[in-house]
Chains A and B, each alone.
Chain A
Amino acid sequence: MSSKAGDASHSSQLHDLPTDPPAAYPHYVTRDDENAVPIFDWRDVTQRNAANDKMRKGVPVVLRNTKIAVPSTSPGTPGIHISRDGLCQKWGDSGDDPDDDSKDRFQNFANSSFRDARKWRVLLSSTSPNKRNRFLPIVPGNNAYGGHYRVRQPETAVTRFSTTEFAKCAREWQNRGCYLEDEVASIAIVAGETDTVPRDIPGKETTRQPRQPKHGVRPVSGGDGLGKEVVDGLNWEVRVFRLSQIRTHRGGPITGD
């Protein structure tokens, strides 16, 4: 079975470009990029099964064409299909080449900022030339004064930026790097929080509330911009999520592909 899984994957397809920065690790680690993560086409049933088999065995895989972050149509209300923009389309600068430096970086990404009530965690690298692009945030709780492993001056600073600020820094900073990394959404763990559509009572006028998503994933507090874009921009009904136990959280079974 495992041999079949191996056969179904694509061969090494790294697609390194001449403009790519050099690898930041010794070449023997990947045997000059010969050791590649297997790639599977999610549309192909054979490859999909092979990928599932690999994942069950705890082997990393790359899945292509999963339609997770592409435009999709979801049944928001029975009978009415709402077209949604996928996250790739929302943030992808309308198909602009992200390698083109002349384009405004993170333009669409930053547009979500005006709805955000909170700022997001951003790592700021050292200004030292050989550490300019490296991000090594520390765990502050372990860095007590006088501690056995005290790091007196962590090379990576941590702060909070709005997405607009982050985009501006990413565009303008030359001597220092910044990297946005934060939790934007989580599963709704409060019982009964999902599927709370009020039923119409005959003879009584009620206001129909928007249906809560079946997947139960919601943006974090204050993250109505970035968080909501991520939740809305991912297609939670693709088959790949059937592997998860989202449904144990009152989400109901996920059907369809």
Chain B
Amino acid sequence: MTSVSTKPGTDWEYAPAPESREIVTIQREYNLFVDGEFVPPATGESFTTLNPASEEPLARVAQAGEADIDRAVAAARKAFETSWGRLPGRERAKYLYRIARAIQERAREFAVLESLDNGKPIKESRDVDVPLAAAHFFYHAGWADKLGYAGFGPDPRPLGVAGQVIPWNFPLLMAAWKLAPALATGNTCVLKPAETTPLTALLLAEVIAEAELPPGTVNVITGDGRTGAGLVAHPGVNKVAFTGSTEVGKQIQATVAGTGKRLTLELGGKAANVVFDDAPIDQAVEGIVNGIFFNQGHVCCAGSRLLLQESVADAVLDRLKRRLATLRLGDPLDKNTDIGAINSRQQLDKIEGLVAAGEAEGAQRWSPPCRLPAKGYWFPPTVFSGVSQSHKIAREEIFGPVLSVLTFRTPEEAVAKANNTPYGLSAGIWTEKGSRILWMAGKLRAGVVWANTYNRFDPASPFGGYQESGFGREGGRAGLAAYLNA
């Protein structure tokens, strides 16, 4: 791991290249966005959101309570019945195009704010999160007046009020994944961003207000887990969409059981990234790195179990380690940073706990030489080799920059090991043999299979899991079904 240069001129080193944070004005306090206005919470309570790279407080954010949830759901209901729900699709489409354009116009502002609040490298928020968020609104805008051709009958109807709870790993992008299809299909929304990353959703609320969507069409209520639980349990909600941990997803499924609410869940994963002996090794190494170290491994579809064919295992591992030594960990706002901060103290504790379990169970831990900043939450890229399937680090989602390496001999064994998990969100295949790719793609129990690539996303491409990784899809034609009463 490259550390800060001590002798400029003698090393080939990167100079610091920080993105300016001047472009963003962070308010001292943020209110809830309900019925088209920013309003203080009835609870009178608020909490602090931090910059995880420095532990510096960024802002105080409203804690929504029961009365606030009631107010937001009522506003969404009113909008569904009187304004947004009555708009023809072609009018809804134009509002969504406005939002897409506004995100593009304010892309840098969104990117800097996202990196500040989340800790992810600016090159990712700038090149992935924000452009994809805009793309999601753009894609779904076009569906709004074409739903009759989507294959759900001639006149599919919206469900009503959608309660949407999103995680902290892609705060703006997840808001876009939830809002864009819901709005395109004519639903109204109450969105609950994650407690540690509320700021870009609130900036998106500002964009939505400027786009002049009818008041109540989108409501953003911030808070901790209690707010999310209150929203999904609210009797005025017709549809619940949740992205987050499998544990919470199961609780939500149990809460929603028997209520008649429609539910989609996008939960955890423990994806296998399978490298065969004929794979282009350098490309595979890039894919492995992108698979597990993208976004500090805070990715539900991260390729967290690397399955190497035995004959190339040592060679791949060597090259992987060499590559990891070139990654740059540090200031998320630096344009050359590859690995940013862990999102919260709580998440860092979880990663440290699982890594300790990996060592205790006998796997070999390796990290490149790496100096961690003194302040903030950091964890070095970590590779465990000698992992067996029964190890905790091979079974549980770590949600951090930690890779567990296992080996296999035959394609059948690779499939058996890859599928040996209650999850089923994603998988990777690396081989030059086309027929093997298609054979593997058919056998892997996962909603997204990346062959000779990893961690690619697109609004036209359905995303979602098998088994305990949840149900329902986001993106593409399939994603529309989650918000339509066909």
Q: Do A and B come from one complex?
A: no
**Interface residues of A, Cβ cutoff 8 Å to B:** none
**Interface residues of B, Cβ cutoff 8 Å to A:** none
